[in-house]
Structure 1
Amino acid sequence: MSATPHRVVSEAEWIVARKKHLEREQELTRALEAVARERRELPWVAVEKNYVFDGPEGEQTLSDLFAGRSQLIVQHFMFGPGWKEGCPGCSFQSDNIGGAVVHLEHHDVSFVVVSRASVPEIEAFKKRMGWRFAWVSSGRSDFNYDYHVSFREDEIIKGKVYYNYELRDFQSEELPGVSAFYRDPSGAVFHTYSAYGGGADMLLGAYHYLDLTARGRNENGQPMGWVRHHDRYE
């Protein structure tokens, strides 16, 4: 038998340990369900500003991004004007949406990625990565700034930016996040939820697969330090 750092036991002993851990997993499932209920019960904020986005087919409003559905999820993707490529971590998250989009769309939810990069920059990177989801530019609007994922020069100069609901030391002119919106039958749009940083890890299916393995995420204190664009792995 090869050397292993783990304790090796009989099948019967393993079942006892596994069932004990199963109780903890079930506790966590119930806690996650309770948090999800609380999330759905959060108050909403009416979106009164007229945001305009640019896409490959022209100008779109925030309401247009719903594509006839009542709910919208926006991935705030770190990709600023002039960047050669999008953020590897955001790309990792985008790789996880793939086949889920068609299911979301048939459950009254649209999914759109938003960045400040120009449409040509977005389209070139999107083609390189082989993605098919909707992706628009917010470069001509305040959208990224109002949802605290991009930062203006005066904030950067001060060295403090408002991110994840508190003032933090400046790290980058663009940061990641996810936001949800609702449009009622009258056409009014409401902001219902946003999460930033590690709060969006719940969307990373690959992480949940890694969490099933013996070595887990194995990130050595550097979240996503190992992640590359999927066409850059050796």
Structure 2
Amino acid sequence: MTASAENGKGGQTMQRPAVVSQEAWEAARNQLLVKEKAHTRARDALAAERRRMPWMAVEKTYVFEGPEGRGSLLDLFAGRHQLIVYRAFYEPGVFGWPEHACRGCSMVADQVAHVAHLNARDTTLVFASRAPQAEIISLKARMGWTIPWVTIIDDFDKDFGVDEWHGTNVFYRDGERIFRTYFINNRGDEQMGGTWNYLDITPLGRQEVWEDSPKGYPQTPTYKWWNWHDAYVADAAPDKKWVEVSDAGEAAFREESAKAKR
């Protein structure tokens, strides 16, 4: 049967899908699930390919202004090995200044997950704009954002393709050497905010044992490192009770992976 029409928002006519029985709905859901699982596996394969991308050495020195003064690109890592830098447009000339940052960049900031989960995977997330720190601090307080946010004071934005449009750059630190490992912008950038999406664009990935990563990359058992955002402790062993609970999830994960390979 053809679907009946309803009035959508604004009085527009909306052609909705057919209404079916529970059995027919389950059949349609299972049919779509096959494609969704294929999409998930393709996404995982793409992330694995991303982890094998060549790196570009960052030879130039960059300086940023932070809440506690000036620091280098190396300082932004905060001692971790991976750094994700999102170029947010908040500066004179941007619509909304100085009360607001760019609407799109603000929407990204609104959806950023708690950074403690990234930190637990040896990853630091930083927003960077050209606004002075006084305005950034005021904006963060008013909007309820806690993301580390620095001021660009040199050619960082121009050199890394984010002087005229938003974008996310990823870097890796080996001692004091810094490498650019990935860059995403435009529509690919709009999906950022979730912990998994961020980790999937890093050179080390989620660092879980199921991932297809180059030999020697750090990996830990799936689920075991997960924690409440206020309970992460450096080098702490997984909570015994959580290990018991997560064992069931890990078994289900292995079973599903095995089915996918059949």
Q: TM-score, normalised by structure 1?
A: 0.72
Equivalent residue for 2:139, pick from 114, 121, 125: 125
Q: What corresponds to 2:166 in structure 1?
A: 176
User: Per-residue displacement from partner, 1:123-178 (whole Å, max 9, x unpaired)?
Assistant: 1211111111110000x21001111211xxxxxxxxxxxxxxxxxxxxxxx41111
**Equivalent pair of 1:43/1:192 in contact (CA under 8 Å):** yes
The Cα of 1:80 is off from its aligned counterpart by: 2.4
Name the CA shift for 1:204/1:3 in 2 (closer, same or farther; >3 Å). farther
Q: Distance in 1 between matches of 2:190 and 2:36?
A: 18
**Equivalent pair of 2:84/2:123 in contact (CA under 8 Å):** yes
- AA at the equivalent of 1:92: M
- For structure 1, which runs of at least 5 residues remain unmatched after alignment? 151-173, 209-234
Equivalent residue for 2:155, pick from 136, 139, 142: 142
- AA at the equivalent of 2:142: R
Q: What corresponds to 1:16 in structure 2?
A: 27
The Cα of 1:81 is off from its aligned counterpart by: 3.7
User: Per-residue displacement from partner, 1:12-48 (whole Å, max 9, x unpaired)?
Assistant: 0011111000000011011101111111111110111
Number of residue equivalences: 179
Please say if 1:97 is aligned against 2:112: yes
What's the C-alpha RMSD, in Å, of the aligned pairs?
1.8
Residue aligned with 1:35, SS:
helix
User: Per-residue displacement from partner, 1:36-82 (whole Å, max 9, x unpaired)?
Assistant: 11111111101111000001100010000000000001111111246
- AA at the equivalent of 2:170: A
Aligned 1:77-96 pairs, distance under 5 A: 77-81=88-92, 83-84=97-98, 85-96=100-111
Q: What corresponds to 2:53 in structure 1?
A: 42
Residue aligned with 1:14, SS:
helix
- After alignment, is 196-205 or 124-133 more displaced? 196-205
**Equivalent pair of 1:47/1:191 in contact (CA under 8 Å):** yes
Equivalent residue for 1:57, pick from 65, 68, 82: 68
**Equivalent pair of 1:80/1:115 in contact (CA under 8 Å):** yes
Please say if 1:191 is aligned against 2:180: yes
Q: TM-score, normalised by structure 2?
A: 0.65
| 4+ residue segments displaced more than 3 Å | none
Identical counterparts, % of pairs:
46
**Equivalent pair of 2:166/2:185 in contact (CA under 8 Å):** yes
- For structure 2, which runs of at least 5 residues remain unmatched after alignment? 7-15, 198-262
**Equivalent pair of 1:98/1:131 in contact (CA under 8 Å):** no
The Cα of 1:204 is off from its aligned counterpart by: 4.7
